[in-house]
Structure 1
Amino acid sequence: MKVQRFEHDHHEILEGIHQLRKLVATGIEHNAGAITQLLRTMSASIKLHLAVEDRVVYPAFANSGQADLAALGRFYQQEMGDLAQKYVAFATRWNLPNRLEADPAGFREEANSVFKALFLRTKREESELYPAFARL
């Protein structure tokens, strides 16, 4: 599988974050329905991306026969598991418009934290993990 597929997924995820920021900037309460719909769409994309990484990327590192690459894959897989759990908890907590309307500041704070972590993770994957994967 080509790295471009994963990079394309990242582009879609980052575009979703950008759209989410625009909705938040124009009013969480006013855009609560659109925000929750976007979160559902993003969650589906993120879950699919993670599943493909679990089936393709991490096993390739584990089966590389190179201890340093196997360790790199394990590190990224463990870290992503922790981040994925945080994202799922976030998406579940904020899956209804009335929850956003009831606590827009809480949503904004948690969204900033979760999406910053996702953004940083995608950038590290693109600069370290995927180049190593492409060489396998």
Structure 2
Amino acid sequence: MQIDKLKHQHADILARLAALRQLTHAGVAPNAPAIAAGIVGMSAVIKLHLAVEDQALYPALQRSHDADMAHMGQLYQDEMAQLAEAYDGFVRRWNTAQRLRADTEGFRADANDVLRRLHARMQRENREFYPRIEALA
């Protein structure tokens, strides 16, 4: 199974997360327009990534003759559904500079929760999930 595109998208998303972290550390209010644009831009990449996983990766794993891999794929998909919902709420709350400026501490708390979980999930996929998928090929 070819997952190079998914791995490239992870690298892109991780770079975007790092950029958001830098902007946030430099100050939410003065960087609110760039942070909001970064969130919206990252959201587009994440939506594409999740669509590929849901429409291609997970169904392919379910059809695989490796029961452990099919089970692992189902677990990752179920877990991602919860995280995707949390991320979608995050994007809706913080997609404008005005909202960011109105509640900088709320944004920081939300970002520390949701974006850390997203980062940890992608790192775990890179370390555990993707290597197992590549080993099937």
With normalisation by structure 1, the TM-score equals: 0.95
CA distance in 1, matches of 2:52, 2:14: 18
Shift of 1:124: 1.0
Query: Corresponding residue for 1:122?
Result: 122
Query: Corresponding residue for 1:29?
Result: 29
Check whether the contact 1:20–1:38 (CA below 8 A) recurs between aligned residues.
yes
| Equivalent AA in structure 2 for residue 89 of structure 1 | G
| Equivalent AA in structure 2 for residue 80 of structure 1 | M
Alignment of 1:13 with 2:10, yes or no, is no
Q: How many residues align?
A: 136
CA distance in 2, matches of 1:45, 1:119: 14
Identity %: 45
| Equivalent AA in structure 2 for residue 113 of structure 1 | D
Shift of 1:126: 1.2
> Over residues 30-73 of structure 1, what are the superposed CA-to-partner deviations in whole Å (9 max), with x where a residue is unaligned?
11111111100000000000101111210111001232111111
CA distance in 2, matches of 1:129, 1:85: 21
Query: Corresponding residue for 2:92?
Result: 92
CA distance in 2, matches of 1:93, 1:111: 11
Kindly report which structure 2 residues correspond to 1:58-77, keeping only aligned pairs within 5 A, or say none.
58-77=58-77
Q: 1:88 to 1:24 in 2, by over 3 A?
A: same
Check whether the contact 1:57–1:133 (CA below 8 A) recurs between aligned residues.
no
| Equivalent AA in structure 2 for residue 39 of structure 1 | I
CA distance in 1, matches of 2:3, 2:64: 17
Moved more, 105-114 or 58-67: 58-67
| Equivalent AA in structure 2 for residue 9 of structure 1 | Q
Q: Which runs of 5+ in 2 are unaligned?
A: none
With normalisation by structure 2, the TM-score equals: 0.94
| Equivalent AA in structure 1 for residue 31 of structure 2 | N
CA distance in 1, matches of 2:71, 2:89: 27
